[in-house]
Amino acid sequence: MPWTRISSKLKQVAKATLNPAIVRKVSQFGTSSRQFHSRPITISQPDMKIRLVPALEDNYMYLLVDEETRQCAAVDPVEPQKILDAIKEENCTLTTILTTHHHWDHANGNDKLVKLVPSQKIVVYGGDDRIPALNTKVGHGDQFKVGNLNVKCLFTPCHTTGHICYYVTSTSGEQPAVFTGDTLFVGGCGKFFEGTPDMMYSALVTILSKLPGNTRVFCGHEYTVNNLKYALHVEPENTTTKEKFTWAKEQRANNLPTIPSSIEEELKTNPFMRVDNSAVQKHCRTSEPVSTMGFLREEKNNFRG
């Protein structure tokens, strides 16, 4: 059920963002959810399972499981023990680490996680030599497998010069997923620490917006409420954004994540993916998309709502 159709059913928060065919459940990982900034959840499909593992103050790590082979990948495992707890509960074998970028709150668990599983040869993927424990550097379009799941690397530099997003599909054509790190957030995007507006335009509009609309978006942080508050500042009459903002606040009030989103949802609500939209351009007082991107980022950097 798309979230836009449940505004009158906000109490059904655990089902709010999911297709009816998908089972979404709270997972305790064998411990109290008070150890997490959000209640851990699992999204299951016949071939692909994704566990959201909250970390630090607002980060998300992920465990990607191939259901047929029981092989799995950890995405940005900054807190290795929490990932190992999830692996134990899933009874799967860790073969892969997917690192979106080198920042400590995403990559600094790599070394420890590899050392904690000495019996297993773990492939550590990433697009930047600054990533700890990196042993397989990837670039745009590179592909590999986690079990039978297909992973395609999308080079999206801007937040950092080596940022990679990972697009995951199954052989049976299930709903795909993309792990976007700090490039694309729900309702927003990462700061341009090592890049420019044209680089983020390429990442969000040229690359990510072209993924299938039903692609689930798994980002690196729980920033949704603040992001959508800014989105409404940009487009105060966007009714879809208004509904999602209400939903997101309800999710957080219940200690539930606002992840995942979808590419389709982001194209309707995320101003950074709507820089070609006339209403967004009007707010930015320009008709040029890259200039719009730059204006939005600068304004968002100083936005207090």
Contact between 117 and 74 under an 8 Å Cβ cutoff? The reply is: no
Contact between 80 and 137 under an 8 Å Cβ cutoff? The reply is: no
Q: Is 140 a catalytic residue?
A: no
Q: Is 106 a catalytic residue?
A: yes
- Of 105, 128, 163, 283, the catalytic one is 105
Distance CA 250, CA 244 (A): 10
Q: Shortest CA distance to 272 belongs to which of 218, 212, 201? A: 201
Q: Is 198 a catalytic residue?
A: no
**Is the four-CA dihedral 25, 264, 221, 116 of positive or negative sign?**
positive
- Of 101, 102, 163, 283, the catalytic one is 101
- Phi-psi group of 25: left, alpha or beta (phi > 0 → left; psi -120 to 50 → alpha; rest → beta): beta
- Of 66, 85, 103, 128, the catalytic one is 103
Contact between 74 and 61 under an 8 Å Cβ cutoff? The reply is: yes
- Of 102, 163, 221, 283, the catalytic one is 221
- Of 102, 159, 163, 283, the catalytic one is 159
- Of 102, 106, 163, 283, the catalytic one is 106
- Phi-psi group of 258: left, alpha or beta (phi > 0 → left; psi -120 to 50 → alpha; rest → beta): alpha
**Is the four-CA dihedral 229, 230, 233, 236 of positive or negative sign?**
negative
- Of 66, 76, 128, 182, the catalytic one is 182
Query: Each residue of 220-240: b (16+ CB within 10 Å) or e?
Result: bbbbbbbbbbbbbebbeebee
HSE of 218 in the Cβ direction (CA atoms, 13 Å)?
Answer: 27
Q: Is 128 a catalytic residue?
A: no
Contact between 147 and 69 under an 8 Å Cβ cutoff? The reply is: yes
Q: Is 283 a catalytic residue?
A: no
Distance CA 159, CA 268 (A): 23
Q: Which neighbouring-strand residues pair with 72?
A: 65, 94
- Catalytically active residues are 101, 103, 105-106, 159, 182, 221
